[in-house]
Amino acid sequence: MLWIDKYKPTSLDQMDYHKDISENLKNMILGGDFPHLLVYGPSGAGKKTRVMATLKEIYGANCLKVKIENKTFKHPSSSKSIQVTTVSSPYHIEINPGEAGSYDRLVIQSIIKDIAQSPPIDSQSFVVILNEVDKLSKDAQHALRRTMEKYANFCRLILCCDSTSKVIDPIRSRCMGIRVPAPTKEEIVKVLQNVAKKERFDLSAEVAGHFAERSNGNLRYALLLLESKKTKEYPFQTNELPLLDWESAIFNVANDMITEQSPARLQVIRGKLYELIGHCIPPDIIMKNLTFALLERIDTTIKYDIIHWAAFYEQNQYFTWKHSLPSLWQSLKSSKWNFNHNITST
């Protein structure tokens, strides 16, 4: 079991940082007021962990006994079926409607309607956790607004996202916003040292600081780095931090793009990208890291084109990474710069 799962806090009292947020959540629960929540903050800040700790505070340890299912939704006007993965307990269900693509509106309406038709026996409301709400289409967000009003007596919604900038105002106004900021470097160092102590190895504050600085406020990433470094080299001989496997794969893709621009190489790169997707690396993370990897290796004259196309397809929700790859590729091919003699080191 990975350390991020093995040492994940399961209660609000166990949270090592942002104690004020934990106290506010506990006071809200004790007061008997549990509104719809909009939990937002950067990746790796502990949003999901804090949400599950809140549910345990309300329902007890049974809410942590979850099962994973693949739910199938039928399109009302066609024979098409949409399959989405859900994580559920007797008290809640967690779902990412974005997995359904352009059918995210159907998933939202169907899942909440099904819950409302079979309300819980006791007086406690059932909780629906929706992840990556900021990536939902506008139609899905408007459908969510209407649905959360209609079935407010049967279920409570907890919406999770990185930023509220893409969440429509009607949803934000109907939820209590809880911002979970990224932990500070000192807080990450403290967590890393606590994990090292439980794993029975020494980790100085200086070495832990290198992991914290590299993680850029992402505690999950810092723990993955520490575990990877501990597995490959202990006692620690150098301050050099290893790349994670998926990061190395993306850097290899960037090198392949720069080395040769041909249909055969494009086919090879697509295969590598599909493999990353198959290992559950989000497409937006792939595109972001691929863009940064290219910017480190190319001449200044075409950096603008790379940034332009990466930003364009990040904002355009109707396109996927496989549509944007040819645009980045064309920017490289159209450049008169000699790639083979100007590759800079990472």
Please enumerate in sequence order all residues whose Cβ is within 8 A of that of 45, keeping only pairs 6 or more positions apart, or say none: 180, 181, 182, 183, 217, 218, 219
- Whole-angstrom Cα distance, residue 22 to residue 143? 31
Among 286, 298, 278, which residue's Cα sits nearest to residue 342?
A: 298
Global pTM reads 0.76
Residue 329 has pLDDT above 70, yes or no: no
Q: How far apart are CA 63 and CA 88, in angstroms?
A: 8
The identity of residue 60, as a single letter, is: G
Report how far residue 317's alpha carbon sits from residue 96's, in angstroms, rounded to the nearest whole number: 16
Say which residues have a Cβ less than 8 Å from residue 146's Cβ, sequence separation at least 6: none
Q: What is the pLDDT of residue 118?
A: 66
Q: What one-character-per-residue DSSP string does 215-253 give?
A: HTT-HHHHHHHHHHHHHH-SS---SPPPPPHHHHHHHHH
Q: What is the pLDDT of residue 342?
A: 40
From residue 53, how far is each of 5, 56, 163 by CA, in Å? 14, 5, 21
The domains found in the chain, sorted by start residue, are 3-179 (3.40.50.300), 185-232 (no CATH), 245-333 (1.20.272.10)
pLDDT in tens, 4-55: 888 888 888 888 888 899 998 888 888 777 788 999 999 888 899 999 999 8
DSSP 182: P
Give the integer Cα–Cα distance in Å for 130 and 86. Answer: 10
Q: Are 92 and 52 in contact (CB under 8 A)?
A: no
Identify the pLDDT of residue 90: 84
- 25's CB contacts (< 8 A; 6+ apart) are 12, 50, 54, 57, 178
3-state DSSP call for residue 49?
helix
Residue 302 is given by DSSP the state G
pLDDT in tens, 41-69: 998 888 999 999 998 988 888 888 888 88
How confident is the model over 235-259, as pLDDT tens digits? 777 677 777 788 888 888 888 888 8
Contact 302, 335 (CB under 8 A): yes
Residue type, 220: R
Q: How far apart are CA 331 and CA 126, in angstroms?
A: 50
172 pLDDT above the threshold of 80: yes
Name the region of 101 (left: φ>0; alpha: ψ -120 to 50; beta: rest).
left
Place of tokens 């350390």: 3
- DSSP characters over 64-97: G--EEEEEEEE-TTSS-EEEEEEEE-SSEEEE-G
Query: Which pair of structure tokens corresponds to residue 346?
Result: 């990472």
Residue keyed to tokens 């909780």: 127
Amino acid at 346: T
Alpha carbon distance 191, 194 (integer Å): 5
306: tokens are: 């790379």
Six token digits for residue 328: 């980045």
Query: 299-319: per-residue pLDDT in tens?
Result: 788 888 888 888 877 666 444
- Rounded-to-integer distance, Cα 307 and Cα 226, Å: 31
- Per DSSP, the three-state class of 319 is coil
Written as one string, the DSSP assignment of 122-159 is SSSPEEEEE--GGGS-HHHHHHHHHHHHHTTTTEEEEE
